[in-house]
Structure 1
């Protein structure tokens, strides 16, 4: 009986110890799981904060770029039209007065267009094709360089936040070409594939050594912006051989 009682005691004790170990294991797993959940939540919050910061910066830069364009148009285009309209309206010749009135209608149209550009709501209504065409038209009107545009595939709908970042990225790529590349020609290729939107921007400018691009450069910021919308940024360039930039953005099929 003593041996039997001792065996029962050890069995019960072993069972109790196993229960404690099992309970400790379960509690540990729960704690680890909760810690991982908390870490994931913190990572998601950090990613979301960075995404929102990227959107805010892109919106700010688009507004600044728009104000610069508006100021240039007011001075170079509308200011000139107003001067011509004033001269024609002051003329005693009926045909000149008629021409002056026609200029006033054109001025009103130009001002309305500029006022709309000050509100970022235009981002939702404009297509990427139209936006790119407008940017190229600015270069052409300024006689900066020759431009080319090619499109393949159907137009797709992007949400406003992604479109804002993409538009600002395109603007910055063009600004870099204008400031540094000294190109004779800039071309755009816009292509919609089954799973990706591809935008290629190519110039025949002076080019540069991409191995010398530092992490603090604008190229690094452009890569981060595309990363924020789950896209990719790739640049190919060489001294004297121009530059080609490829923007790739995943798209979901309806």
Structure 2
């Protein structure tokens, strides 16, 4: 009788251990499966992000090539046509009646102004030129173009020892600033634009502000797809390419502040003032 009870107890214990072992094995394999599944999902996410990163870089490279082509066309063809217009006006001027000479002189002045604007625009579209003069000078030129329109009071300030960063980063940063200023011109109805640059080894900080009408940033981001406008999204994508943090602060009637921060910038060289 005792032997039978012992055998039954032993059977129960062994069965329980087998069931526990089986459950443990199932849980372990489920854990491995979930871990492998999670790792696979992470790899897919990383691959997708890497693909989007490469795709964005390729798209920006194509844009730069297109802008370079437009720059050369402006310089070679349109500038040449404006020069011919100026020459023709100069030849017409001595033969024109006295009451028309003032209009011809005004047209010559406008043609000269157009030539200056074409040269400035061509330079700002040319990647090699921007790399040659550097981001700061390119931004100053862009702000000076705004000032020349007589519609904006423009101020630029710099703090710290000025330096150059990677050329490809300067190009992306400049295109980002162009988009900011373009939005200011198109939508802000501003009269003042300020740019402040702070150079330090720990971080590069650029702040662009305007006193315009402002807008709701969150609404603009959420409705960008509906309005078929991806400007803000593109700005954030450009910033991510150079490991920059982009913060846009604005409110209706309160102007706009764009803060661009690059932590630990890759400094190429310092520029002595």
> Do the structures match in fold with TM over 0.5?
yes
> How far apart are the structure 1 equivalents of 2:123 and 2:75?
12
Aligned twin of 1:153: 160
Q: Which residue of 2 aligns with 1:25?
A: 27
Q: Contact 1:232–1:248 at 8 Å: present in 2 too? A: yes
RMSD: 4.0
Gaps of 5+ in 1: 87-109
Q: 1:83 to 1:36 in 2, by over 3 A?
A: same
SS of match in other structure, 2:165: coil
Whether 1:169 aligns to 2:183 is: no
SS of 1:199 mapped into structure 2: strand
1:29 is paired with a residue of what secondary structure? Answer: helix
- Give me the whole-angstrom Cα distance separating, in 2, the residues matched to 1:179 and 1:144: 13
Q: Structure 1 CA distance, aligned partners of 2:29 and 2:167?
A: 44
1:14 corresponding residue in structure 2: 16
TM-score (structure 1 length as normaliser)? 0.67
- Output the CA distance in 1 between the equivalents of 2:167 and 2:70: 26
Are 2:238 and 1:222 aligned?
no
| Correspondence 1:208 to 2:214 | yes
Distance in 1 separating the partners of 2:78 and 2:148: 12
The aligned runs of 1:105-120 (5 Å cut-off) are 118=126, 120=127
C-alpha deviation, 1:156, in angstroms: 5.8
Residue equivalent to 2:138: 131
Structure 2 CA distance for aligned equivalents of residues 189 and 220 of structure 1: 23
Aligned residues: 227
Counterpart Cα distance in 2 of 1:19 and 1:200 = 63
Partner of 1:43: 45
Q: Are the aligned partners of 2:70 and 2:125 in contact in 1 as well (CA < 8 Å)? A: no
Q: Do 1:55 and 1:164's aligned partners in 2 also have CA atoms closer than 8 Å?
A: no
Corresponding residue for 2:245?
Answer: 231
- Equivalent position SS for 2:55: helix
Unaligned runs of 5+ in 2: 89-117, 268-273
| Structural mapping, 1:44-123, within 5 Å | 44-74=46-76, 118=126, 120=127
